[in-house]
Amino acid sequence: MPTSIVWVHGDSLSPTNPALATYPSAPAVWVWDDELLRAWRISRKRIVFIYECLLELPVEIRRGDVVTEIRAFAQEKGAQKVVTTSSPSPRFQRFCRELAQTLEVEVLPVPALVPVTPGMDLQRFSRYWKVAEKVIYR
């Protein structure tokens, strides 16, 4: 019986994303976020593009309220833990907080192109690039 499930979201649609790569045998799920699709008036071509990405991933495809569906999927699989890949989206972070009320949540980082250090000047890209260009390419 698996104890973990993988949650794949819209910033991590690669079969090699950190969550799927680290937990290759865990059941994985995608949830179409009905509220987001409505609020952003997402057009058909965007849904088709994402759906085509999903068809190359080992995920069960669901829709509805994201947190409710992930909880239900975890329960069906007898899992106590959700593993996913990090995202800066505040909506994603809110879902993680809600999930953490009833499940263990592990968020795996995406490898950084540019390591962000404390105090890094982010006011303008030009200043960021001055730091980044020294470390970004070998």
| Closer by beta carbon to other proteins, 4 or else 85 | 85
Positions in the binding site for other proteins (CB under 8 A)? 10-15, 17, 32, 37-38, 40-56, 60-64, 69, 72, 85, 88-90, 93, 110-114, 116, 122, 124-125, 128-129, 132-133, 136-138
Biggest CA–CA distance in the chain, Å, is 51
Least separation in angstroms between CB 21 and other proteins = 11
d(CA 136, CA 82): 32
Looking at the Cβ atoms of 100 and 136, the one nearer to other proteins is 136
**Least distance (Å) between residue 11 CB and other proteins:** 5
E strand or H helix at 96, and its extent?
helix 90-99
Q: Are 2 and 78 in contact (CB under 8 A)?
A: yes
Q: Look at residue 137 and give its three-state secondary structure.
A: coil
**DSSP reduced 3-state for 89:** coil
CB of 112 to other proteins, least distance (A): 7
Which of 9/82 has CB closer to other proteins? 9
- Nearest approach, Cβ of residue 3 and other proteins (Å): 21
Burial of 72 from C-beta contacts in 10 A (0-12 / 13-18 / 19+): middle
